[in-house]
Amino acid sequence: MAEDDAALIDFYPYRDRFKTYHRLEPQGRERQSILDELAAMAGEEDRIADLGRVSGSIYHGGHDHYAFLTEAFRLFAHSNVLQRDMYPSATKLEAEIVAMTSSMLHGDAGTCGVVTFGGTESLINPMLAYRDRARKEKGIAEPEVIIPVTAHVALEKAGHLLGIKVLRAPLAGDWRVDVEWVRRLPRSRSSVASGCTWTHAWEVSSFPGAKSSATRFRASTSASPASPRCRPTPTSTASR
């Protein structure tokens, strides 16, 4: 086995225990055998999380809460929320999530948002909103975003997809962004600065000079809802 394969082996612990499917089989499987296999994997994987030594990734350790979530998801697992006329609960629930997030982040009546899936989409959306606002309101044709070296790599993905140049700001030595380095940059093309250092700290307040930088660059974190000015309703949601 090549050295690289050996290093990756832990990512594929089921290779030797369960069949690997490379195409749809002509014959289906018994439901129970599928459930048994999934339960075996889930049980082993939960044991790691249940040790209580995982930071990040797992946001609640209670199996009673997992059961409650499962019950709620079960009711809508088959719903296609594109069909908002058939599933208006999606509109209600999404608007409430946006409103709760907006209230935590001190949004106002003009704040709007959309529920996204996963970190990458959640970063692409605000980057798109900031890019388009910078283009419209400031005439910035070649946008740049300034992020700490510790910010999540998904911001690079968003930059790549949206044609935004990503500048990586160094840290000042206390895990916080070197704001002086940011201040020395030419200002004309920056449409947004991220104060979020994913791997080390989440608080916007840990971005020293956030207020003054926000005035210049409109500070944002990957947790903030995209907030272009839109319909002046308390909790409007963008349609997909």
Ligand X SMILES: Cc1ncc(COP(=O)(O)O)c(C=O)c1O
Does residue 120 interact with ligand X by CB under 6 A?
Answer: yes
How far lies 13's CA from each of 3, 19, 79, 221, 230, in Å? 17, 12, 33, 36, 49
The region of 71-79, 105-113, 118-126, 206-214 touching ligand X under the rule CB under 6 A is: 118-126
**221 in Cβ contact with 106 (< 8 Å):** no
The DSSP code sequence of 198-219 is TTTB--GGGSTTHHHHHHHH-E
123 vs 182 by CB, closer to ligand X:
123
Rounded CA-CA distance 195/151 in Å is 8
Rounded CA-CA distance 15/29 in Å is 19
Beta carbon of residue 13, minimum distance to ligand X (angstroms, whole number)? 21
97 vs 230 by CB, closer to ligand X:
97
Could you tell me the maximum CA-CA distance found in the chain, to the nearest angstrom? 65
Beta carbon of residue 201, minimum distance to ligand X (angstroms, whole number)? 12
Binding ligand X (rule: CB under 6 A), the pick from 102, 111, 220, 222 is 222
Does residue 124 interact with ligand X by CB under 6 A?
Answer: no
Beta carbon of residue 123, minimum distance to ligand X (angstroms, whole number)? 6
**99 in Cβ contact with 234 (< 8 Å):** yes
Binding ligand X (rule: CB under 6 A), the pick from 91, 93, 105, 119 is 119
Binding ligand X (rule: CB under 6 A), the pick from 198, 210, 213, 227 is 198
The DSSP code sequence of 80-101 is -TT-TTT-HHHHHHHHHHHHHH
Binding ligand X (rule: CB under 6 A), the pick from 115, 140, 154, 164 is 154
Binding ligand X (rule: CB under 6 A), the pick from 152, 191, 219, 236 is 152
Amino acid found at 62 = G
Residue at token pair 């946006």: 98
Beta carbon of residue 54, minimum distance to ligand X (angstroms, whole number)? 13
Binding ligand X (rule: CB under 6 A), the pick from 26, 28, 62, 118 is 118
Nearest to 152 by CA among 194, 101, 192: 194
Q: Draw the binding track, 64-103, toward ligand X (x: CB under 6 A; -: no contact).
A: ----------------------------------------
* Contacts with ligand X, residue ranges (CB under 6 A): 118-120, 123, 152, 154, 198, 222
